Structure 1
């Protein structure tokens, strides 16, 4: 049997963690987290890090293993995740991966475009510019430096804008010029399972999750991080809105509603990313585990025979 990575994908709040744990217990294996927001030990509630009870049910890797002050790129994750998979596949024929960060899951399953190393100070300066002048200033720069990528990138995603700009500025070449070059083939096969739900159900789940985060102490988690609000890891939903509240730009109720709205938008972008991909085994969020496992095993066998 060829080594197989089962990648669990889907929008935020759909239940990826629970499914990943169920599959890990079924196949007696371990879980690679590909959720880039959950890498950081200072961020727990706002990133929906698995609870201690959940973590105890199956071994997890790449959960809160970094600090927000560390420089950790998708390329670093690709290298580390592949090293961990190579280690795990020595004893396990199947490993589970779960996460809502499409770029990070793609890095593991398909490989990344490779970019030149650039001075880390450029990213710091761009983050400060985002904080001081807003996202429109980054959009304008990218339009000037790389119109091709500007026309296809999600212009509302500051992480993508900053990543593209730091390459443009640091290398003196358009970010798009480094895309779609030849990538290294993987030695394992991947079966991707996508969780889905009707939009109303998904949005209700998102709203309830945000309310629960607030009840669990999200504001108390965010408060001591305010002095680091320019750090790249903190330019994310659930944190940036509360920073605005702390700066007196809105009241708390409005900030919470902004978190819900921006999380719903994030989920929509995740689904747009995933819908472009072929060969995802889509299942309802209220799946029957036994039936799903049977479908996964059939797909593994078909892929091996192909």
Structure 2
């Protein structure tokens, strides 16, 4: 009996992943699991570009608007959630769509994560405070001093730095020593699709989407979250910049331009992450043929 198929739709922010995932799920009469580390949080609807009510009514979505922002969800949590959910969904569907831009979440589902010792909360909180007071430069300096084994290519990713720093402080061991690179076997086949478009066009789309978010009420959404602003989950693009505006550190126009800039930077990092995985098949997000090409690939893989 052939294995069921997980279709992964990945790529940078603003490229059109949600629309394509819904079209695929509609074709296969199936459901979508979000692989986005921020869309899962309640109250963060506009700034994380959660699928709207119409999109969620058209196709069932999971891991959207379901968690309290105070919950410290991790990639390991997502691996457990998604693999358990997939076992249930595949009982009724031959295909399920996983859609998102959080590379580590997608890796967790497709390949599994290495087993790691638990890090007590007080270590995590101390590193969070370091980041709040000294920024990424403080994290970088602490890692250079305390964990010189840590990979240099991750030195511009604050979330990864915070994880590595809290890990070595809690265990006395570099997190790199626990990375085995051994992939877990999954009871389903995987088709990985990456969406891309020319960089200049993508950046124009990102800039336009930021303006649309502001028009949709992003400022009011962020103001409602001010009481929670100290949480790590709120220290993200679209929210951190407006908090600085509320504090008088930036004008509104400066904050909007920072959101555009940081969103473009994030898109570049996402592409760098996904391009390292040779299993991705890259498709032009603008092409009218992309949907049918993916359907053909999926049907061919299911028939093998």
- TM-score, structure 2 normalization: 0.96
Counterpart for residue 277 of structure 2: 277
Counterpart for residue 298 of structure 2: 296
Alpha-carbon distance in structure 1 between the residues aligned to 2:297 and 2:262: 34
Alpha-carbon distance in structure 2 between the residues aligned to 1:135 and 1:279: 32
Alpha-carbon distance in structure 2 between the residues aligned to 1:193 and 1:102: 13
Structure 2 matches for 1:215-294, cutoff 5 A?
Answer: 215-287=215-287, 288=289, 289-294=291-296
User: Once structures 1 and 2 are overlaid, which stretch shifts more, 122-131 or 161-170?
Assistant: 122-131
Q: Structure 1 residues 156, 97: CA separation in 2 closer, same or farther (over 3 Å shift)? A: same
Q: Secondary structure at the match of 2:191?
A: strand
Deviation at 1:299, TM superposition (A): 4.1
Q: Structure 1 residues 181, 298: CA separation in 2 closer, same or farther (over 3 Å shift)? A: closer
Alpha-carbon distance in structure 2 between the residues aligned to 1:276 and 1:150: 15
Gaps of 5+ in 2: none
Alpha-carbon distance in structure 2 between the residues aligned to 1:214 and 1:125: 33
Q: Secondary structure at the match of 1:103?
A: helix
Q: Structure 1 residues 300, 265: CA separation in 2 closer, same or farther (over 3 Å shift)? A: farther
Q: Structure 1 residues 149, 257: CA separation in 2 closer, same or farther (over 3 Å shift)? A: same
Structure 2 matches for 1:185-200, cutoff 5 A?
Answer: 185-200=185-200
Structure 2 matches for 1:1-306, cutoff 5 A?
Answer: 1-153=2-154, 155-287=155-287, 288=289, 289-301=291-303, 304=304
Alpha-carbon distance in structure 2 between the residues aligned to 1:107 and 1:31: 16
Gaps of 5+ in 1: none
> C-alpha offsets along residues 53-98 of structure 1, whole Å, 9 cap, x if unaligned?
0001111111011111112111011001000000111111110000
> C-alpha offsets along residues 180-205 of structure 1, whole Å, 9 cap, x if unaligned?
25342111110011111001110011
- TM-score, structure 1 normalization: 0.95
Q: Which runs of 4+ in 1 moved over 6 A?
A: none
Deviation at 1:279, TM superposition (A): 2.3
Alpha-carbon distance in structure 1 between the residues aligned to 2:294 and 2:6: 15
> C-alpha offsets along residues 197-217 of structure 1, whole Å, 9 cap, x if unaligned?
001110011000000000011
Deviation at 1:261, TM superposition (A): 0.4
Alpha-carbon distance in structure 2 between the residues aligned to 1:75 and 1:292: 29
Alpha-carbon distance in structure 1 between the residues aligned to 2:179 and 2:294: 35
